[in-house]
Amino acid sequence: MFEKLQQKWKVNGWRLLLILVTFALGGSLCGYAGRKLLGFFSVESNLVRIPLYILLVTILWPVCVILISIPLGQFGFFRNYLKKIGRRMSGKKAGSKEPETQNKQHNMFSVAIFASGAGSNAQKIIDFFRNSQVIKIALIVCNKPGAGVLDIAARENIPTLLIEKETFFKGNGYVDELKAASIDFVVLAGFLWKVPATLTAAYANRIVNIHPALLPHYGGKGMYGMHVHTAIIAAGEKQSGITIHYVDNVYDNGAIIFQATCDITADDTPDTLAQKVHLLEHAHYPRVIGEVVLQLQNQR
């Protein structure tokens, strides 16, 4: 049962536990508040008290659940959950939209962001395309339960897909799940697993990555994050930067789309160099993604 709930709600085990706890505590608070409010009504007959209590609990339940969800960090999930209930009660289907909106959605590119960590680049990308008529950030894919990017997804009300190594590398690379979510384009933003051939084949020239160095130097297996910056400082390089490139079946090997540089001074450390590179990532990655997707859209 719990596995089915995880798949239905697209959450990991820890988040499922927090969601169930929120349901339980919210229901208890709702019942307690309903009984207290019922005391303000001078009603003796059970024929009136019981329907009145049910009415009070029905009204209080969404408020109580939302209140409990905030300290437990599940506000984004329950906000979306209550919206779905509201749509069902009003008779609207979850996917129903006005004709103009449907047309806009049809012409938009749905993008999945793959990330493994805190998600600073993912947040910048989400912010950049928040009001876009071309790109929709439709899915956050993560390989680490508890990663900060999952909190960003919850806050931004973006669906998530938590992936496992066995299925990713020995299965179909979650291509079926991406296709089911109508994903057109994949962005790697601090994703630390090598992308398998099944996925690169399904999304040929539709997967991009950003590397914290000037490829082809300081790339390859094991060259990520602070490992890159430490190696560059140790080598006495005078410049570093970022490389945005297409993803193929070899680490950091795909065709280069864009590069930007930053100078390295004698006082720089791996930490200060990382800060400089992060600024370049945040400044250029969303813009370049937009340019690449626009070219693909023009080819439709």
- The per-residue pLDDT for range 54-88, each reduced to its tens digit, is 888 889 888 888 888 888 877 777 877 777 777 77
Average pLDDT over residues 167-182: 92
The pTM of the full predicted model, rounded to 2 decimals, is: 0.67
Q: What is the pLDDT of residue 99?
A: 44
Other C-beta atoms closer than 10 Å to the C-beta of 136 total 18
For the chain, the domains span 2-90, 99-298
Check the CA dihedral 46-49-55-56 and report its sign.
negative
Q: What is the pLDDT of residue 197?
A: 93
3-state SS, residue 194: coil
pLDDT band at 106 (very low <50, low <70, confident <90, very high): low
pLDDT band at 11 (very low <50, low <70, confident <90, very high): low
Six token digits for residue 101: 């909106």
Nearest CA to 187 out of 117, 286, 107, 299 is that of: 286
Average pLDDT over residues 34-49: 78
Q: Which residues are catalytic?
A: 211
d(CA 152, CA 115): 11
Name the one residue in this structure whose structure tokens are 């779905």: 84
**151 pLDDT more than 80:** yes
CATH of domain 99-298: 3.40.50.170
d(CA 200, CA 19): 34
pLDDT band at 155 (very low <50, low <70, confident <90, very high): very high
d(CA 113, CA 127): 13
Q: What is the pLDDT of residue 3?
A: 65
d(CA 156, CA 144): 19
Nearest CA to 117 out of 140, 144, 138 is that of: 144
Strand partners, 259: 243
pLDDT band at 16 (very low <50, low <70, confident <90, very high): confident
Q: Regarding predicted confidence, which is higher, 107 or 194?
A: 194
d(CA 241, CA 285): 12
Mean pLDDT of all residues belonging to the chain: 87
pLDDT band at 9 (very low <50, low <70, confident <90, very high): low
What radius of gyration, in Å, describes the C-alpha atoms of the chain? 24
